[in-house]
A and B are shown apart, each in its own frame.
Chain A
Amino acid sequence: MAIEVRIPTILRTYTEGQKSVEGSGATLAELLSDLDSRHSGLRDRLVDGSGLRRFVNVYLNDEDVRFLGGLATPVADGDTVTVLPAVAGGGR
């Protein structure tokens, strides 16, 4: 088993058009480094010097990693990571 990472349309240029890719690592940071070794440039679109980029949201099993531990959030085989452009608010 591996960790599935879902990629939004605007970043699929880094994944040869694939909607999801697989990777491994013990933390989100390790996972993103592992992905970058096969999908060069992807990591830079998600992370800057201080952590996750402001207008990027990353979810671990649908839970916002900013509330979990950011890049240090532990990840494990079988988890699903979803990357999304940040859009705040909902609708009522």
Chain B
Amino acid sequence: MRYDSLLDSVGGTPLVGLPRLSPSPDVRLWAKLEDRNPTGSVKDRAAFFMIEQAEKDGLLPPGATILEPTSGNTGISLAMVARLRGYRMICVMPENTSAERRQLLAMYGAQVISSPAAGGSNEAVRVAKRLAADHPDWVMLYQYGNEANARAHYQTTGPELLADLPSITHFVAGLGTTGTLMGVGRFLREHVPGVAIVAAEPRYGELVYGLRNVDEGFVPELYDPSVLTTRFSVSSADALRRTRELLAAEGIFAGISTGCALHAALGIAAKAKAAGERADIAFIVADGGWKYLSTGAYTGTLEEAEARLEGQLWA
């Protein structure tokens, strides 16, 4: 396929069946390969839509500085678009994210400001909001509350899924900014009666969450619980195990958040099979495994990999 430029090639990703992991001919799993985007993650869709909208709204004069709290993929996507469009990019990133992400951001010319590991992405959001208040000329696109993030999925990911899988019964994606779930979820609900929208939420160890008061939890502004049908909480151990199963059984080398989504998809599949119901379950492969090699997620035993992952953000 031919495109006028890299940005024109965002989206249009393959949807591939998983014949070995699907439990029966009536209960089938489908992987949407979002690692086939220009910078290798689903976030290219949101980054492109958010910058396009900000330009339309006159928020980004030539040479403007973009600021964003991100644990990696969104920053990399924004840095690529910013580079091509002539903007300066600053990412606020938890210090416990992988080395590959930092190197990629540096390659695209982005500046990284580290936020404390304790508190994870929530702390990065707080630090970025403080920086934005101190620098009124910086533009924070703010993926957690930017309607263009969810709209990217409403206008592209959702229609692609429906075109490739008209018989879709379930859509599963990770719960981060909630942009993918809200955008695809709204689109599918408008077109597929009874479709189930399933969130897969990473469950980190207590090293990441620390002993924070539970009511400090952060809810993205994009999040509308009425779009969701159900929600799974997936431990690091299960996410790792499923990431490896996906590679071993189906040949797909994905990042660890994909294992999280696959775990929820398999949970749905098991319930559908037990109930004797037909199901076509599509889930998002948010990125490939390349950026996580240094975490040791793919080497040694599962127990060793889990121990190495303790205290790291993997989604």
Q: What total of chain B residues lie within 8 Å of the partner, measured CB to CB?
A: 43
Q: A57-B233, A62-B233, A67-B228 are in contact. Are A88 and B267 (CB under 8 A)?
A: no
In the complex, A68 Cα to B73 Cα: how many Å? 32
A70 within 8 A of B: no
A49 within 8 A of B: no
Q: List 19 A-B contacts (CB under 8 A).
A: A61-B267, A63-B267, A64-B231, A64-B232, A64-B233, A67-B230, A82-B233, A87-B209, A87-B214, A87-B217, A88-B219, A89-B121, A89-B218, A89-B220, A90-B176, A90-B315, A92-B70, A92-B74, A92-B315
Minimum CB distance partner of A82 in chain B: B233
In the complex, A63 Cα to B73 Cα: how many Å? 26
Within 8 A of A (CB), among B45-74: 70-74
Mask of B85-103 contacts with A, CB within 8 angstroms, 1/0: 0000000001000000000
Chain A residues within 8 Å of B, Cβ to Cβ? 8-10, 55, 57, 59, 61-64, 66-68, 82, 84-92
User: Which residues from chain B contact A10 at a C-beta distance below 8 Å?
Assistant: 211
Chain B residues within 8 Å of A, Cβ to Cβ? 43, 70-74, 94, 120-122, 124, 143, 174-177, 201-203, 206, 209, 211-212, 214-215, 217-220, 228-235, 238, 263-264, 267, 313, 315
In the complex, A91 Cα to B124 Cα: how many Å? 9
Assess whether A92 is in contact with B217, with CB atoms less than 8 Å apart. Answer: no
User: Which residues from chain B contact A67 at a C-beta distance below 8 Å?
Assistant: 228-231
Assess whether B238 is in contact with A62, with CB atoms less than 8 Å apart. Answer: yes
User: Which residues from chain A contact B212 at a C-beta distance below 8 Å?
Assistant: 87
In the complex, A57 Cα to B203 Cα: how many Å? 12
Q: A62-B238, A85-B214 are in contact. Are A90 and B232 (CB under 8 A)?
A: no
